[in-house]
Amino acid sequence: MNLILKTMNKVIITIFLFVTTLSFGQRNHDWEKINTLKVAFITEKLSLSSKEAQEFWPVYNEYQEKRNLLRKKSHNQIRGKMKDTDALTEKEAENLLALHLQIEEEEEILDTNFLKNVSKVISAKKTLLLLRSEEEFKRQLMKQYRQNKGGK
């Protein structure tokens, strides 16, 4: 019976993932949908107990929030200026490169701290499964995006 429920959950989540990604409209709404799908996907893949989920999600959400802030910082302070590198002086380019390296280091530290913290909340095995599940989710999302873009 438990196996049947797990299989049904997998099928439902997979169907939900693909059907809802077909109907994306507004940008912020899209990110909300993607995050909802990601939470469902990770929850299902990790088979978190209620105790694990209660401890895991605050750690994961804090990590995601900090990660998003670093991405915004990178985008706002670097990527926009990199589009027109010909207009930059050598000194400006050096400063942008230094800032890029600093943000890369901050991301590395954030990732390392997250893995240390999350492996205190869930097992090392589930932590590795989390990493794999995130990559799998990204692959499925990109595959769906390509299919939708090609069909329009």
DSSP secondary structure, 118-150, as one string: HHHHS-HHHHHHHHHHHHHHHHHHHHHHHHHHH
CB-CB contact of 65 with 95 (8 Å): no
Amino acid at 52: E
Rounded to whole angstroms, the Cα distance separating 93 from 99 reads: 10
When mean pLDDT is compared across 71-75, 83-87, 117-121, the lowest value belongs to 83-87
* Residue of 55 and 20 predicted with greater confidence: 55
* % of the chain with per-residue pLDDT over 70: 79
Q: Tell me what the mean pLDDT of segment 114-137 comes to.
A: 96
Residue 144 placed within a domain:
no
Rounded to whole angstroms, the Cα distance separating 49 from 82 reads: 45
Q: Tell me what the mean pLDDT of segment 123-140 comes to.
A: 95
Q: Is the dihedral of CA 106, 71, 57, 46 positive or negative?
A: negative
Residue 7 placed within a domain:
no
The residue range of the domain holding 68 is 48-122
Q: What is the pLDDT of residue 151?
A: 55
The per-residue pLDDT of the chain, averaged, comes to 83
* Residue of 150 and 42 predicted with greater confidence: 42
Rounded to whole angstroms, the Cα distance separating 14 from 72 reads: 30
Residue 145 placed within a domain:
no
What angle, 0 to 180 degrees and rounded to 10, lies between the N-to-C axes of helices 90-121 and 50-74?
180
Residue 82 placed within a domain:
yes
* % of the chain with per-residue pLDDT over 90: 51
Residue 94 placed within a domain:
yes
Q: What is the pLDDT of residue 38?
A: 92
Q: Quick one: pLDDT band at residue 77, thresholds 50, 70, 90?
A: confident
Residue 132 placed within a domain:
no
pLDDT > 70? residue 18? no
Contact residues for 90 (Cβ-Cβ < 8 A; gap 6+): none
pTM above 0.85, yes or no: no
From residue 55, alpha-carbon distances to 60, 111, 114, 117, 138 in Å are: 9, 18, 13, 11, 24
Contact residues for 99 (Cβ-Cβ < 8 A; gap 6+): 77, 78
Q: Number of structural domains, the chain?
A: 1
Residue 115 placed within a domain:
yes
Residue 60 placed within a domain:
yes
Q: Tell me what the mean pLDDT of segment 40-60 comes to.
A: 93
